[in-house]
Structure 1
Amino acid sequence: MGVNPTRRQIVAGAAGLLAVGGTATTTTAARAAPKDFLWGTAISAHQSEGNNTASDSWLLETITPTAFKDPSGDGCDSYDRYEEDLDIAASLGLNCYRFGIEWARIEPVEGMFSEAVLDHYVRVLEACHARKLLPIVTYNHFTVPLWFAMRGGFEVADGADLFARFCARATEKLGPLIGMASTFNEANIVLLRKVLPRFASDAAAENARAMIAAAARRTNSPRFSAMLFGDPEKISRVMLDAHIKGQAAIKAGPGNFPVGVTLSMQEIQGVGPNNRATQAEETMYGGWIEAARQSDFVGVQTYSRLRIGDKGLLPPDGSVPLTDMGYENYPHAIGACLRYAAEHIGRPIYLTETGIGTTDDAVRVKFINDTVAEVAKCIADGIDVKGYLYWSLLDNFEWTSGYAKQFGLVAVDRKTFKRTLKPSARTLAAHARANRL
């Protein structure tokens, strides 16, 4: 790992961020960031907007059996409260905002595009510009329309053409307002699953298969396929084609903005003789390194490292603390992956997503400072890192983990949707306002 000038009343406590300098907990900055460096947060449509009822994930979350601990439900109600969220981002001194446009909302029925939803995303983009936030748009962040999943999703070859059609139609309406865009969030996520077999127990894998089978029966569609649970080889091949065609459709305009792709790039460390680190790297990236070389930029999305021995993935090192997600809290991986992207891809680099799942915000504060330090070291070594976006602005729906795992700079009350800023938000704000690393 990846949303009008008239204001809603900003959430309680946010106004205090306007004088954030004295409250931040951060280390002394060592150097100025590049002049046009982007500071931001990332968020996705399905995880925050709520009530994405025409999507494949909505069905999978609410069917029996399900792999999801919670249904997404109302999410963070960001479809309606986007101005509050943008006000918070602006109050933190950020200058960009990465969010998703939801295909299932825009094309809820095959071939039927919603002008009302497209108008909504126009308003979101305009609201970003009104707050001097560069809008960075993700065209697909894992979820697809239910009708698309029912016909085989990205396991069917012409799925690439349908995705490109969506990209063209969305860009026709939104393109003039977009600042940057990526076709897919973590486009290689299905291949990463092949490297992480121990992250899912046999029982969990069987439950996921039973969930997909139940969805196929419910919808009378034996080819039912969801990106996070389908055949990695088939899906990756079609998604590569979809990226190429979708990128071309977006570049055709209107609008004139960089178009790239974001990749899940975990640091791979070989351990011991005959380790399989090289094979794991090849498996994780497939053809996506070459695809990124043909894009305007690459978004690096790093959360930890993978230790690979002679039999494959090793368990976490007992000397390294774990996040609430069960993987290592290892910020060094961020710098390693930025360097990997510079060496192997050679396109402009943005750290479009990194964050930490923890209920201890002091741990998040340190993680942000450590991340900034890694970025600073890379830039000092001549690597052209152009931005850092923290995942995520809000504590939101964390896929199969539901709402228990907290990545946000801002807590969200599950009943009232009240947003409450955490100290970590002030830490990121201190860096952004000073534009120092």
Structure 2
Amino acid sequence: MSDTASTTAFGPVPPGWLWGAATAAHQIEGGNTNSDWWAFEHAPGSPAMESSADACDSWHRWPDDLALVSEMGLDAYRMSIEWARIEPAEGEFSLAALEHYRRILASAQDRGLKTAVTFHHFTTPQWMAVQDGWMNAEIVDRFARYADIAVQHLGDRIDMAATINEPNVVAGLGYATGGFAPGIAAGQVGLRAATENFVGAHVKARDAIKGGPGEFPVGLTLALPDLVVHPDGTLDGQGFRYDELPADAPGADYLRVMAGVYLDAAQDDDYIGVQTYFTQHVAPDGTVLAVPADERVTQMGWPFTPESLGRAVRHAHAVAQVPVIVTENGIATTDDEERIEYYARSLASLRQAMDDGVDVRGFFAWSLLDNFEWAEGFRPTFGLAAVDPVTFDRTLKPSGRWYAELVWASRS
């Protein structure tokens, strides 16, 4: 561990600040058989490396997850509810699934934790996916209906909500390239149709959630790498970040579809959830430019660029003009000392942005657990806690204890 990582303190936090850890239902629950991701994992020739199977068995072991959050002394737990469990067949809603999630939320609050609930975290019911999923405009009303029913049952146990997690990732990988569920490779047609429907669904679901019981902030979360566009398509050429690229320059349309439309939609939200992991260099059409062979990378092959978080929150705040909550940030690595270094530097860049006037209200580490990382399977380890693949026992890592100490120090 570097001296900087071992001594970094975040400093005092403003009133109402939330320190948290994040999870997603499909990645930790296991056995989510009615979702498009389960079908995608098991399809012949799927790019998914393995099945989510039992994942971390959090469908049964959720009390262990809450215990970890409490052990670290955090303020909040971010989790998602699973549309495919709540509405396993079109128009058929499971009271048992809703009650299951209600028990988790009630238990979290009984522990003194704030609950941050995401209504859609990458997974869609398979009955909707086979109807072209997010390319089908009918999904806007169907998602809003699900959100309305869910909030009616759970709203009084929610302290913060996100309609959709990283819709820009699902639109790009799920409907343009086919690398994510449901595996549709429709290129620009798929990307733009899914994007339009995600924005529409967010707005309608936000209104539905606002109309339910409880009064809490509602927003969406966005994958917002520190993106650098190279108009000439090479790393050797000049690169421009979001706020530097002229509106008529090659690549501006890509930035608009992948981030701009969502940041604009967030202007009517209570907050924007920023999820940043790295700096990414792309050609004007969005093709990712290869990381140089001598550059430090994570298990995901992403550049080790923790300071990207500070740049991303500045941009999100400037465009959306609403408070920012960092709803995900972390690193996939087998070296826990490297994880501590990453968080230390990432949080230092966040603190600098706050000191410069960016309105940030909280930070959620990704992830609470080593879990199922989508097409990459269980190989990448993002967790502050390890999970035994046989017993499912959770063990807090040194990075989890480091995070707990930083949180405690920020309150003193």
Query: Displacement of 1:274 after TM fit?
Result: 8.0
Of the three residues 141, 155, 168, the one matched with 2:121 is: 141
Using the alignment, how far apart are the partners of 1:122 and 1:347 within structure 2?
Answer: 29
Using the alignment, how far apart are the partners of 1:353 and 1:274 within structure 2?
Answer: 26
What are the equivalent positions in structure 2 for 1:219-230 lying under 5 Å apart? Answer: none
Counterpart residue number, 1:303: 277
Contact 1:30 1:436 (8 Å CA) reproduced: no
Are residues 117 and 190 of structure 1, via their aligned partners in 2, closer, same or farther at CA, if it must alter by over 3 Å? closer
1:263-321 Cα deviation digits (max 9, x unpaired): 11111224534864544422321521111111111000001111245786422245531
Are residues 164 and 270 of structure 1, via their aligned partners in 2, closer, same or farther at CA, if it must alter by over 3 Å? closer
Query: Displacement of 1:436 after TM fit?
Result: 5.8
Using the alignment, how far apart are the partners of 2:374 and 2:56 within structure 1?
Answer: 14
Using the alignment, how far apart are the partners of 2:8 and 2:335 within structure 1?
Answer: 22
TM-score (norm 2): 0.89
Report SS of the residue matched to 1:51.
Answer: coil
Are residues 382 and 139 of structure 1, via their aligned partners in 2, closer, same or farther at CA, if it must alter by over 3 Å? same
Instruction: Judge which range, 156-165 or 144-153, deviates more.
Output: 144-153
Counterpart residue number, 1:95: 75
Letter in 2 for 1:175: G
2:300 is equivalent to residue 341 of structure 1? no
Contact 1:38 1:386 (8 Å CA) reproduced: yes
Letter in 2 for 1:246: A
Letter in 1 for 2:272: V
Letter in 2 for 1:305: T
2:334 is equivalent to residue 354 of structure 1? no
Long gaps (5+) in structure 1: 1-24, 198-204, 214-224
What are the equivalent positions in structure 2 for 1:184-333 lying under 5 Å apart? Answer: 184-190=164-170, 193=173, 231-271=190-230, 272-273=237-238, 276=250, 278-308=252-282, 313-318=288-293, 320-333=295-308
Contact 2:367 2:383 (8 Å CA) reproduced: yes
Report SS of the residue matched to 1:306.
Answer: strand
Contact 1:142 1:228 (8 Å CA) reproduced: no
Are residues 337 and 212 of structure 1, via their aligned partners in 2, closer, same or farther at CA, if it must alter by over 3 Å? closer
Using the alignment, how far apart are the partners of 2:83 and 2:189 within structure 1?
Answer: 19
TM-score (norm 1): 0.84
Runs of 4 or more, structure 1, over 3 Å off, are: 190-194, 225-230, 273-280, 308-313, 317-320
Using the alignment, how far apart are the partners of 1:345 and 1:180 within structure 2?
Answer: 18
2:408 is equivalent to residue 433 of structure 1? yes
Query: Displacement of 1:35 after TM fit?
Result: 2.8
Counterpart residue number, 1:20: none
Query: Displacement of 1:230 after TM fit?
Result: 9.2
Using the alignment, how far apart are the partners of 1:226 and 1:169 within structure 2?
Answer: 32
2:372 is equivalent to residue 413 of structure 1? no
Using the alignment, how far apart are the partners of 1:177 and 1:436 within structure 2?
Answer: 25
Larger relative CO (CA 8 A, sep 6+): 1 or 2? 1
Of the three residues 114, 137, 150, the one matched with 2:130 is: 150
Q: How many residues align?
A: 391
Counterpart residue number, 2:247: none
Long gaps (5+) in structure 2: 231-236, 241-249
Using the alignment, how far apart are the partners of 1:228 and 1:188 within structure 2?
Answer: 14
2:57 is equivalent to residue 77 of structure 1? yes
Counterpart residue number, 2:106: 126
Instruction: Judge which range, 81-90 or 32-41, deviates more.
Output: 32-41
The alignment yields a C-alpha RMSD, in angstroms, of 2.5
Report SS of the residue matched to 1:119.
Answer: helix
Counterpart residue number, 1:18: none
Are residues 212 and 45 of structure 1, via their aligned partners in 2, closer, same or farther at CA, if it must alter by over 3 Å? closer
Contact 1:263 1:301 (8 Å CA) reproduced: yes
1:80-128 Cα deviation digits (max 9, x unpaired): 1111100110110100010000000001111111111111111000011
